[in-house]
């Protein structure tokens, strides 16, 4: 499993750039595909899961606005991807993510903020940030 810090940094930068390009091109399916690849890829950790959650979250508004899909399909796909974003955030926390400020400041998570499960994750991260032994 590659753990070299420069490799991880390059990977994150590349995925971040790719996500911005895919979002500009309104390619929600490609964003979801890349997020799924990250979640199941050769490297793992809290930072990887957090990045996957960001990619899933980026796809949510694109899916909700995709006029090629029926209203029911938009709702179903957005709900599924929202669940994947939450699952990735949960995995990030389970793997040690505890940067409450980063979670709170991440604008991409706006579609998730009204959900009870997101608020529970946020509360847990805030508790862990305040108590490093958890």
**pLDDT confidence bin for 131, thresholds 50/70/90:** low
**Distance between first and last Cα of the chain:** 26
Q: What is the pLDDT of residue 132?
A: 56
Q: Is the pLDDT higher at 15 or at 71?
A: 71
Q: Distance between CA 92 and CA 97 in Å, rounded? A: 5
Q: Residue 67: is its pLDDT beyond 80? A: yes
> Stretch 16-40: mean pLDDT, rounded?
91
Over residues 72-122, the pLDDT tens digits come to 999 999 999 999 999 999 999 999 999 999 999 999 999 999 999 999 999
Q: Residue 1: is its pLDDT beyond 50? A: no
- Which among 134, 38, 45, 43 is positioned nearest to 85, based on CA atoms? 38
Q: Residue 38: is its pLDDT beyond 60? A: yes
Q: Distance between CA 73 and CA 69 in Å, rounded? A: 6
Q: In Å, how far from its chain's centre is CA 28?
A: 13
- Report the chain's C-alpha Rg in angstroms: 15
Residue with tokens 């500009």: 24
Q: Residue 2: is its pLDDT beyond 70? A: no
Q: What percentage of the chain carries pLDDT values higher than 70?
A: 94
Helix, strand, coil shares of the chain, percent, nearest 5, are 75, 0, 25
Q: Distance between CA 94 and CA 32 in Å, rounded? A: 21
């Amino acid at each position: 499993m590659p753990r070299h810090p420069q490799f991880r940094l390059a990977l994150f930068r590349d995925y971040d750039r790719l996500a911005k390009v895919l979002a500009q091109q309104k390619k929600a399916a490609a964003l979801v595909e890349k997020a799924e690849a990250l979640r199941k890829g050769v490297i793992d950790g809290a930072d990887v899961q957090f990045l996957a959650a960001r990619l899933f979250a980026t796809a949510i508004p694109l899916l909700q606005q995709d006029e090629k899909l029926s209203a029911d399909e938009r709702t179903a796909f957005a709900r599924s991807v929202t669940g994947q974003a939450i699952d990735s955030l949960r995995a990030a926390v389970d793997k040690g993510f505890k940067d409450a400020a980063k979670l709170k400041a991440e604008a991409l998570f706006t579609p998730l903020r009204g959900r009870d499960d997101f608020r529970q994750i946020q509360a847990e991260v805030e508790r862990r940030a305040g108590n490093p032994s958890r």
